[in-house]
Homo-oligomer: A and B are copies of this chain.
Amino acid sequence: MEYNAVVVGAGVIGLSTAYHIKRKHPSSRILVVDKFNSAGQGSTAKSMSAFRCLFSSKVNYLLSDSSVDFYTYVQNEIGIDLKLAFVGYLWLLSKSEYEELHPILRGLAVSLKYEELEAEELAQKLHLNICLENDEEAEVLGLNDVYKGVLIPKAGIIDADCVVKFYEEEFLKLGGEIRYGVRVESLIVEPCKPLGLPGEPLFWQKSRISGVKTTAGVIKAKKTILAAGAWIPQLLDAVGIECFIKPKKRQVFAVEAKKPELKKLLYTQGFNSVGCMPFTILPKPRILIRPFPAEGVFWLSYADDFPRAFMLEEDPQPEKGFYEYGIYQVLVKYFPQFRDCRPHTAFAGLYEINTLDGHPVIFEENDLIVVGGASGSGIMKADAIGRIAAALYDGEEYAVLYGGRKFKISDLGIKDRRVEREKLQI
């Protein structure tokens, strides 16, 4: 029994892809497999669950903007609560960072609404420490004064689990199949025309990926779709296909807004209709603060680069010292409200970083479709990525994103890739 397609990975990318394929092919047999026991339990569950439409690259903007429009439609028109809230993104910038960002903002191929805020105004509204002069510790930490803020209104928070569940349910409603608790061990390579020779496929034979070997046996499919996030390169290396994706651990620390001054910060008025602080990015090193107003919590994170290893871990763990000697030290300099606050919980996941240019990678080779490399912004781009992968599955040249915008599929491929390096990765 051969499926039309087997999708490896029931994270947000895999399920969006499966849903968009099934939507166009209701009678095709599409199977999703995942090693976990339910949807979105891998890196999707470890996401900061936030979104922004500000990217320096037009492609990233398109992917995010159209996906956010779709999520808004799902929540407002279909009436499925994704816990999407436009709390905004607030970039706090040192003078040199502002001078870097300003031309990018002005040079955007698309006009994205944003607002510049003066440091003094932010200091007042957020009880933010904007001046670190004469602070020896801040100097050791290499911190700079806040010079300006840039607020992006089309940005905010969402619930990754709700998004995943939405795609899962819609996919199942259409008759899609999912098998949880099934781990893919390898891709199966077979000659297109088997001859029964030892060691097939031999290099002079045309060969293809004919399915996957799993802990529950072999699953054959006309097309195999690899949407396994940080696990993609391991499976691809085994068959010698390059995808330019590498896994890297990312950690999130949750701090409760118990103290009155923290509560006040979390529920800062005047930035959005939600009545909470925006998702906030500190000056370099760019500590991220994600407000969780419904739970009375802040999520704190930092995407460290050198010398953080590219490493695949089955169960990545947050590191206590990363908060205590890392995030906390920087955080309290700008937001003294956090003094003496320790996280009550923390988690870690894996980014699937596209090391070429910070964009997703979507291509087909030998009946294998690879969909990955979302580089930490998978939630906010998942709908567009799924539509593009589904259009590639159909052999189209262009995908139509939500809202009708057309997208050239090969721009995210390997061979004819056409994207500018993203300058606003955080």
Known A-B contacts A198-B321, A321-B199, A325-B197; A240 and B204 likewise in contact (beta carbons under 8 Å): no
Taking a contact as CB atoms under 8 Å apart, the answer to whether A238 and B322 are in contact is no
- C-alpha gap A201/B238 in the complex (Å): 34
- C-alpha gap A238/B311 in the complex (Å): 7
In A24-64, the 8 Å CB interface with B consists of none
Taking a contact as CB atoms under 8 Å apart, the answer to whether B307 and A201 are in contact is yes
Interface check A345, CB cutoff 8 A: no
Taking a contact as CB atoms under 8 Å apart, the answer to whether A203 and B240 are in contact is no
- Within 8 Å CB of A172, what residues of B? none
- C-alpha gap A322/B306 in the complex (Å): 41
Size range of the interface on A? Answer: 35 or more
Q: Out of B141, B311, B356, name the residue touching A237 (CB < 8 Å).
A: B311
- Within 8 Å CB of A319, what residues of B? 199
Closest CB of chain B to A300's CB: distance in Å? Answer: 13
- C-alpha gap A326/B365 in the complex (Å): 22
Interface check A75, CB cutoff 8 A: no
- Within 8 Å CB of A381, what residues of B? none
Taking a contact as CB atoms under 8 Å apart, the answer to whether A310 and B242 are in contact is yes
Taking a contact as CB atoms under 8 Å apart, the answer to whether B204 and A142 are in contact is yes
Interface check A77, CB cutoff 8 A: no
Closest CB of chain B to A332's CB: distance in Å? Answer: 13
Interface check A317, CB cutoff 8 A: no
- Within 8 Å CB of A239, what residues of B? 306-307, 309
Closest CB of chain B to A311's CB: distance in Å? Answer: 7
- Within 8 Å CB of A205, what residues of B? 142
Interface check A215, CB cutoff 8 A: no
Interface check A269, CB cutoff 8 A: no
Taking a contact as CB atoms under 8 Å apart, the answer to whether B311 and A203 are in contact is no
Closest CB of chain B to A286's CB: distance in Å? Answer: 10
Interface check A330, CB cutoff 8 A: yes
Taking a contact as CB atoms under 8 Å apart, the answer to whether A204 and B330 are in contact is yes
Interface check A294, CB cutoff 8 A: no
Chain B residue nearest to A239 in the complex (CB): B307
Hey, what's the 0/1 contact readout for A311-334 against B, CB within 8 Å counting as 1?
100000001011001100110000
Q: Known A-B contacts: A142-B206, A197-B325. Give 14 more (CB < 8 A).
A: A140-B195, A142-B205, A189-B306, A189-B307, A199-B326, A203-B308, A203-B326, A238-B307, A240-B305, A240-B306, A240-B310, A241-B307, A244-B355, A306-B366
